[in-house]
Amino acid sequence: MRNLHDTDLVHRLRQRDQSAFEEVFEAHHRKIYQFALRLLRDETLSEEIVQDTFLQFWLHCEYLDDQRSVVPYLYVTARRTITDYWRKAATSKAFLDRLYHRIAIAHNNTEEQLNLRELTHVTQTGLKRLSDQQHAVFMLSRGEGLTYQEIAERMQISRDTVKYHLINALKILRKHFEQHGVTCIPLLFLC
């Protein structure tokens, strides 16, 4: 509900009364700033939006309706000013460069995650193709980094048997990777 003060204030604004403008500014600039800050998340830019909003308000105050509050007009003006900023920012080269960079990073991360999942799956299915002995020797060699001699002692088999199982395991895994189109075999298997 409008009161007599609002009608008088609008009338004074339409007459370009600077003290009326100062009243509006003092009463609402913090609220418009908070509104802009919520949308922009940038303090400096939000301050600029407040300045532009009140400048537009002052330039067009002769069109105010004395039967309406100035508050909705201020928020609409602030929202339009923010929208104009976004529109200009969206067409600026710097903005587009940042956007393309973010898209490229997101695409690369997604592609890397898919590749990693696929490689993990291919590796797991490849390891299942090994005999128990080959699997054990392979995991001790590549998983724990043990030498032939250390594996031989732990498994109580000869060093040559360890070497034989590891060579055969690597052959099976290389062939498995080739069959699945993995051209860059992980370093884990090459050594």
CATH of 4-91, one of 2.30.40.10, 1.10.10.10, 1.10.1740.10, 3.40.190.10: 1.10.1740.10
pLDDT digits (tens, 9 = 90+) for 92-143: 666 667 666 666 666 666 666 666 677 778 878 888 898 989 988 888 888 7
Average pLDDT, the chain: 82
Q: What is the reported pTM?
A: 0.48
Structure-model confidence comparison of residues 3 and 130, the more confident one: 130
Q: Give the pLDDT of residue 34.
A: 96
Structure-model confidence comparison of residues 57 and 119, the more confident one: 57
Q: Quick one: three-class SS letters along the chain? A: CCCHHHHHHHHHHHCCCHHHHHHHHHHHHHHHHHHHHHHHCCHHHHHHHHHHHHHHHHHCHHHCCCCCCHHHHHHHHHHHHHHHHHHHHHHCHHHHHHHHHHHHHHHHHHHHHHHHHHHHHHHHHHHHCCCHHHHHHHHHHHHCCCCHHHHHHHHCCCHHHHHHHHHHHHHHHHHHHHHCCCCCCCHHHHC
CATH of 95-190, one of 3.40.50.2300, 3.40.640.10, 1.10.10.10, 1.25.40.10: 1.10.10.10
pLDDT digits (tens, 9 = 90+) for 157-167: 999 999 999 89
